[in-house]
């Protein structure tokens, strides 16, 4: 795989443009990068591309079962043999989830006359030159007002062939979590404020102020600078170097259940200087854009 410095200009351009302009959702950058990869080739073999990973996923495995008053279904992607650590992790997670579900289904105090269900899908969500990110999504229903959402992620360091947590990327995790917390709070609170400006839903100024205060408290608690707050994340990018991380917050963590799962895309400029030396080369960042971005926050 060619180093970033050796890539043709057409492959580098979308990365540099992304950090020279105001930050946009990573899906837009991924689409732009993909277009450049089509025209430039980037010197990579098809087996190294996220397209190949997605294609392989279509050949994955689905398992299912049912019994008296319950049914379950789990789908796995077809991962490459060298990703064994990742494959083991997702199967261990699936086995533990299924075991817990079956125990609840067979419990003496289970809710009668209700169909219990477990539905889970593992998907390759991101693929950079150095990382693969897989998500687990779905829901489990074992009684109650609604099902329990399944929100989990697994991130493989391809160079070390090991799973990594977000804290593993940083020399000083506490400082990194503080930076991530500040950025996530800024985006989440700004997102909610914009929503209420566009559609106040007939609320009075006093009610809007109370809503803003409630939202701030919820966000502050859900984004506390701890490993637990940032346990679910993806390392963003497409084939080349990573460009940031997407932090995923399950329902209830930073917003009401009705608002669903929340995601915050954090550009690498927020935390690049805090990365361990061995991970700095895995992320692409424009120095001038990082300095400008730091000045406006």
Higher pLDDT, 249 or 201: 249
Is there a domain that residue 10 lies in?
no
HEC per residue, 113-149? CCCEEEEEEEEEEEECCCEEEEEEEEEEECCCCCCEE
Residue-wise pLDDT tens digits, 95-139: 999 999 999 999 998 888 899 999 999 999 999 999 999 999 999
Beta strands in the chain (DSSP E): 61-67, 70-76, 116-127, 131-141, 148-157, 162-163, 233-236, 244-249, 262-267
- Residue range 213-227: mean pLDDT, rounded: 89
Phi, psi angles (nearest 5°) of residue 86: -70, -45
Where does a domain end: 121, 147, 163? 163
Q: Which pLDDT score is estimated for 98?
A: 97
Is there a domain that residue 198 lies in?
yes
Give the separation between CA 127 and CA 264, rounded to whole angstroms. 18
Q: 68-93: string of b/e by CB count within 10 Å (b at 16+)?
A: eebebebbbbebeeebeebbebbeeb
Is there a domain that residue 272 lies in?
yes
- Residue range 165-182: mean pLDDT, rounded: 98
Is there a domain that residue 27 lies in?
no
Q: How far is CA 230 from CA 16, 66, 222, 247, 279, in A?
A: 27, 34, 9, 7, 18
Q: Which pLDDT score is estimated for 212?
A: 77
Residue 63 and residue 76 in one domain: yes
pTM for this one?
0.75
Residue 159 and residue 171 in one domain: no
Is there a domain that residue 232 lies in?
yes
Find the domain containing 281 and state its range.
Answer: 167-296
Label residue 269 by pLDDT band (50, 70, 90). Answer: very high
**What CATH number is associated with residue 69?**
3.30.565.40
DSSP for 211-244, written as a single string: HHHHHHHHHHHHT-SSGGGG-SEEEE-BSSSB-E
Where does a domain end: 163, 183, 211? 163
- Residue range 82-97: mean pLDDT, rounded: 97
Higher pLDDT, 213 or 135: 135
Q: Which pLDDT score is estimated for 196?
A: 66
**Residue 202 reports pLDDT greater than 70:** yes
Number of separate domains in the chain: 2
Where does a domain end: 133, 163, 193? 163
**Residue 179 reports pLDDT greater than 90:** yes
Q: Which pLDDT score is estimated for 167?
A: 97
Q: Are 29 and 14 in contact (CB under 8 A)?
A: yes
Highest mean pLDDT among 54-68, 268-282, 283-297: 268-282
């Amino acid at each position: 795989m060619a180093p970033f410095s050796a890539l043709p200009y057409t492959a580098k351009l979308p990365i540099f443009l992304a950090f020279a302009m105001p930050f946009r959702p990573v899906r837009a950058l991924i689409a732009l990068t993909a277009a450049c990869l089509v025209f430039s080739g980037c010197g990579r073999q098809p087996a190294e591309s996220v397209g190949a990973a997605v294609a392989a996923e279509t050949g994955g495995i689905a398992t299912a079962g049912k019994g008296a008053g319950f049914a379950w279904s789990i789908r796995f992607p077809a991962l490459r043999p060298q990703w064994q650590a990742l494959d083991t992790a997702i199967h261990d997670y699936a086995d533990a989830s299924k075991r817990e579900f079956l125990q609840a289904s067979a419990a003496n105090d289970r809710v009668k006359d209700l169909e219990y269900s477990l539905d889970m899908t593992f998907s390759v969500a991101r693929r950079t030159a150095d990382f693969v990110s897989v998500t687990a999504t779905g829901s489990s229903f074992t009684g109650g007002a609604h099902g329990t959402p399944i929100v989990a992620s697994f991130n493989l360091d391809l160079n070390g062939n090991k799973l990594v947590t977000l804290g593993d990327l940083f020399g000083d995790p506490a400082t990194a979590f503080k930076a991530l917390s500040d950025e996530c709070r800024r985006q989440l609170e700004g997102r909610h404020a914009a929503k209420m400006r566009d559609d106040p839903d007939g609320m009075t100024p006093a009610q809007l102020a109370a809503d803003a205060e409630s939202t701030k408290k919820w966000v502050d608690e859900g984004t506390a600078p701890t490993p637990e707050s940032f346990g679910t994340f993806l390392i963003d990018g497409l084939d080349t170097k990573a460009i940031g991380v997407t932090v995923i917050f399950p329902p209830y963590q930073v917003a009401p259940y009705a608002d669903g799962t929340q995601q915050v895309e954090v550009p690498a400029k927020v935390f690049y200087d805090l990365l361990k030396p061995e991970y700095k080369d895995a992320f692409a960042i424009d120095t001038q854009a990082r300095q400008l971005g730091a000045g406006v926050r």
